[in-house]
């Protein structure tokens, strides 16, 4: 049974900022692929999944709803098998409760948000689900800054986009701290894998966010990411990393 609060968060999660969003509606179920607050609406033969409930007894209607949610779960499984990512689910409280009991992916759930959001734009929906995903990733870590200060005193901290980007390529199990609204236009060199910061943006070129690339690299190497409020890491150039190996504080030499 879904608790009374509208948002239910699961704590035992593999950390990731790349995830799925499944929106359960009265007549249509939609699937999105998310990266931070950005959502991509998946549109193909499996989604959006439209359906209609025949008039009849309440028992008959409940059976039909359960059947459609079971089919939705099977359709989602197709995508999970291709790219296994965690899952956020949105929908009416009754549909959430049913889906939670029948899904084969309970261990993937980041959380659930009550409400029909099938007509909400991907842009606005991303702004709704990302705070829940972000909070789960960070683990609501009230001691984050204290741990960073301790690591700093032990000369176990590096900071700045260039230094952090280089270290992320080689370190395993490190902890990355980053301000949640920090973005840097650029890419990663193919030779020494160091970050390239783009001061002058050519809108005709495909430009990556170096911060997102670093976050993904840290997660891939078994590390943790803690998102902090804007301005929290001013003295660390807005991004810093704790290294379990004990390195010299600051930017490593190239």
pTM over 0.85, yes/no: no
pLDDT of residue 3: 42
* Least trusted range by pLDDT, from 85-99, 153-167, 189-203: 189-203
* Least trusted range by pLDDT, from 35-44, 55-64, 188-197, 225-234: 188-197
CA distance 149 to 154: 9
How many residues are given for the chain? 254
Where do the domains of the chain lie, and which CATH numbers do they carry?
7-137 (3.30.420.60), 144-242 (3.30.1330.30)
pLDDT of residue 190: 60
Of 36 and 77, the structure prediction assigns the larger pLDDT to 77
Burial class of 31 by CB neighbour count within 10 A (0 to 12, 13 to 18, 19+):
buried
Beta-carbon neighbour count of residue 60 at 10 Å? 12
Q: Residue 125, SS3? A: helix
Query: CA separation (Å) from 83 to 46, 89, 193, 231?
Result: 15, 17, 25, 35
The mean predicted confidence, pLDDT, of the chain is 79
* pLDDT over 80 at 243, yes or no: no
């Amino acid at each position: 049974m879904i608790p009374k609060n509208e948002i239910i968060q699961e704590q035992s999660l593999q950390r990731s900022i790349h995830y799925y969003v499944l929106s359960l509606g009265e007549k249509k179920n939609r699937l999105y692929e998310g990266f931070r607050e950005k959502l991509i609406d998946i549109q193909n033969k499996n989604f959006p999944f439209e359906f209609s409930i025949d008039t009849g007894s309440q028992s008959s209607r409940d059976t039909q709803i359960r059947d459609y949610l079971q089919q939705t779960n099977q359709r989602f499984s197709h995508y999970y098998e291709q790219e296994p990512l965690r899952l956020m689910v949105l929908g009416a409280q009754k549909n959430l409760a049913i889906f939670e009991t029948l899904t084969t992916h309970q261990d993937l759930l980041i959380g659930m948000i009550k409400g029909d959001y099938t007509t909400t734009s991907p842009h606005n929906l991303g702004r709704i689900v990302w705070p829940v995903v972000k909070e789960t990733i960070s683990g609501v870590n009230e001691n984050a800054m204290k741990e960073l200060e301790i690591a700093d005193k032990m000369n176990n901290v590096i900071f700045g986009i260039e230094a952090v980007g280089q270290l992320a390529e080689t370190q395993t199990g490190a902890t990355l701290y980053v301000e949640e609204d920090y973005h840097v236009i650029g890419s990663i060199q193919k030779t020494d894998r160091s970050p390239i910061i783009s001061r002058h943006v050519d809108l005709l070129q495909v430009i990556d966010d170096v911060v997102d690339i670093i976050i993904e690299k840290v997660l891939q190497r078994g590390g943790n990411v803690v998102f902090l409020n804007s301005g929290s890491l001013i003295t660390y150039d807005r991004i810093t990393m704790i290294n379990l190996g004990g390195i010299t504080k600051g930017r490593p030499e190239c």
